[in-house]
Structure 1
Amino acid sequence: MAGILIIAHAPLATALRECIAHIYGGCPARIGALDVLPDSDPAEVVAKANSEIERLREDNGALVLTDMFGATPSNIAARLATVPEVRVLAGVNLPMLVRAVCYRATPLDTLVEKALAGASKGVQTIGPTMPPAAAAASECGCPPTPCAEGAADVTKHTASQVANQAAGESASQPAAATRSAACTGGVAAGVFRPAGTT
């Protein structure tokens, strides 16, 4: 299980770790938080961050999540990117963190991919502007497409497949594969499994 260290402007790091404890009914092991205060001495915070990484790092390494690229916390986190088996991601949000916790047992590069996917898929439009055609979940259980352009792309892609099949050509991507591409391992995008499950 990879260790996870959150480095962010105070009190965000601690708040994100508390959110994970709320979601899981207790904080999973090897998740650290380092809040950077406005008057923090960066050299001291770097030293704390290095000792936290040594404490949290596991066989498959550690993942460092920081809030805003270019700010002091991310500059501190960037110092850890040179440590072997440590990866650093900026732009942490709760979906990224939940996804990272869920996939801690995977190889570090896979963990990075899953965390980044969680961060981007977690940003959605919610509201009455969703088109009626997108209101129902797809056959794979994925959430509805959040915009008309996305629904139009799927319709256009499906029509293209039908035309290709009618012409005797092999479609480049069957409709079922298109639906499952929006899902991760049979779990709807944005739905996360508890840690330790596949």
Structure 2
Amino acid sequence: MAGILIIAHAPFATALRECVAHIYGGLPARIGVIDVLPDSDPAQVVAQANAEIDRLREENGALVLTDMFGATPSNIAGRLATLPQVRVLAGVNLPMLVRAVCYRATPLDTLVDKALAGATKGVQEIVPGAPAVCAAAVASDCLTEAAVTPCAALPDNEIVKPAGA
């Protein structure tokens, strides 16, 4: 099972981890975060990130998710891309992270593909009067409690328009 490390502008990494804990009713194992502060020393954060990868990496490697390509957190994350069995994705959003958690047991290349698909499928326009779809079904094809809950049972803020509808 791949470890997941989120490196982002503070407090985004921690907020994403807390969202995953909320969705899953607890924090899945092997998910680490590094919140990069405005005054962080990049060299120290790179050392911290390397230590986190050593702690989190599993038999099929580790996936590093970072927020904005080209910013300090992604530049730090990019330094990890040279490590064996470590892949780095920029542009993390919650659907990407949910997919990554769901597919951690797959080979690293499959995990990367699923996470990228979750990120793009999770970006939708919400329009009045559109047929309702459960948010978890749009964000992820993994079976979670939310994915098997009928949309009618979810609060209005959990309903989104599916792609192509």
Q: Deviations over 1:1-25 (max 9, x none)?
A: 1000000000000000011111111
**How many percent identity over aligned positions?**
80
RMSD: 1.8
Whether the 8 Å contact between 2:98 and 2:139 is mirrored in structure 1 is: no
How many equivalent pairs are there? 142
Q: Deviations over 1:23-62 (max 9, x none)?
A: 1111000000000000000000000000000000000000
- In structure 1, the partner of 2:125 is 125
SS in 2 for 1:27: coil
SS in 1 for 2:64: strand
SS in 2 for 1:35: strand
TM-score, reference length from structure 2: 0.82
SS in 2 for 1:6: strand
Which sections of structure 2, spanning at least 5 residues, go unmatched?
145-165
Higher Cα Rg, which structure: 1
- Give the C-alpha shift of residue 188 in structure 1: 4.8
- Give the C-alpha shift of residue 193 in structure 1: 2.1
Equivalent of 1:193, from 139, 143, 154? 143
TM-score, reference length from structure 1: 0.68
Distance 1:107 1:91 in 2: 21
Please say if 1:21 is aligned against 2:32. no
Distance 2:60 2:70 in 1: 27
Distance 2:75 2:143 in 1: 32
Moved over 6 A (4+): none
Amino acid in the other structure paired with 2:46: V
Alignment of 1:42-191 (within 5 A): 42-128=42-128, 130=130, 135=131, 143=133, 188-191=137-140
SS in 2 for 1:82: coil
SS in 2 for 1:23: helix
Distance 2:35 2:101 in 1: 19
